[in-house]
Homo-oligomer: A and B are copies of this chain.
């Protein structure tokens, strides 16, 4: 590998530092001048755009439309829903003034004290309040329902400890906000969107997830139920990757949103909200990448194939290019993104290292010997395997390989999760096993108190009460009280 890409911390040495370095070295993001806020660099943003495009298609295929609501929310809106304000008021960015003026002492600009807002405005930490205040005007009759709206937006939560993509003060996300005539329909919607998230995670990110419902402690502020997809990172920690909330009638009541039902009687509207964010970038990075850098599943790789010519003279290059260019054209015609990197200001070794760090799934290299022999060097990023193969048929081989890499990444991640999933029947066993990381399936008595005690003593939380798997009742590992089923415990990001 090229010099500047060496001295990479290895995962085993320090997983957390490995992650931080990788984000920077793969050119995904960097810290900005504003505390807790990152700059998403072009390569990182290109991956996010691929995620966005795919998710957006899936939202539209399930009947949703996009819209846009204001960035700023009147302070008083937060207080309307009692749980919501508890959850979100504490970490807000507060706009108090609407003007700066020249510093009378001549030092740049200062806040103009005469430009104080009557009511402070909050940068949205999430948009339930402003949206339900809007829905009040949209919804009058059962004919106006359902409202199936999504928004792609930036949000802001003043986090004390931030990490790029995983937890930043400002982040990008989508938030779906739907309104329904019945409880059943809203619950169904919340479950449907969780399924969409799980499908996206598994089929596009190649990240296996456990679907389930959150315990009361971990529920979204203002929800009756929060559904979640939980992924496991290579260090055995859980990452909550997407959530979907059944909000009941809480926001309809807080903002007085009623509709006339078919019997012409007023009823409060039922609600859901659901979101995934740039945090998914963190899940993607941490699930697949290795000590050599980023590893990307082909379906989300901005660049799926790179071709590097190895030559000494301009004439050599011309001959290689003549061989490569028809291949590039026919791969592109198939919708495969490919780059022929014939830049002459970087050596092949540097290019190899750079594309390896950036996780390009397939790399071809062609030299004069290959031209003579009718071969090409083929490198796959997931296994780091390199082989010389016939140039004839390379197109089919690449198509196959992209699928194979996608599937292989998912399989590896799933095997890792299975290896790192265990059960515990006593609290002692649990305490011992949780030290090794991974998901621990254990019985719990269903009380917030027991969950809190476990969290304090072991730093593990209930990631979810899983929908699938063993539903056998048992006894709580801590209190011995009855437990309906095993739940998933883990330490988490």
> A residues within 8 Å of B by Cβ?
30, 32-34, 37-42, 45-46, 48-49, 65-79, 85, 89-102, 108-109, 111, 120-123, 130, 133-134, 137, 143, 149, 153-154, 156, 158, 170, 172, 345
Contact = CB atoms under 8 A, between A and B. Distances in A.
B156 A71 contact: yes
B108 A76 contact: yes
A127 B37 CA distance: 14
A98 B91 contact: yes
Given A73-B34, A101-B89, A111-B120, A67 B94 contact: no
A121 B34 contact: yes
Contacts of A41: 67
B134 A39 contact: yes
A364 B414 CA distance: 52
Given A39-B134, A70-B37, A123-B71, A79 B108 contact: yes
Contact of A74 (B33, B42, B79, B137): B33
A158 B70 contact: no
Could you say how many copies of this chain the assembly holds?
2
Contact of A40 (B67, B89, B111, B120): B67
B78 A100 contact: yes
A465 to B, nearest CB: 31
Given A94-B111, A95-B95, 5 more contacts: A33-B77, A90-B100, A91-B99, A94-B96, A96-B111
A437 B56 CA distance: 44
A109 B153 CA distance: 25
A34 B120 CA distance: 11
Contacts of A153: 154
B91 A94 contact: no
Q: Quick one: which of A70, A91, A95 has the most chain B CB within 10 A?
A: A70
Contacts of A46: 65-66
Contacts of A111: 75, 94, 96, 120
A95 B98 CA distance: 9
A122 to B, nearest CB: 7
Contacts of A92: 98-100
Given A108-B79, A130-B33, A68 B91 contact: no
Nearest to A93: B95
Q: Quick one: which of A68, A77, A99 has the most chain B CB within 10 A?
A: A68
A209 to B, nearest CB: 26
A85 B99 contact: no
Listed from nearest, the 6 A-B pairs whose CB atoms lie closest are A79-B108, A42-B65, A37-B70, A40-B68, A94-B97, A89-B100
Nearest to A302: B65
Contact of A49 (B66, B73, B77, B89): B66
A72 B37 contact: yes
Contacts of A48: 68
A256 B248 CA distance: 54
A32 B75 contact: no
A482 to B, nearest CB: 37
Contact of A67 (B45, B123, B133): B45
B94 A90 contact: no
B85 A72 contact: no
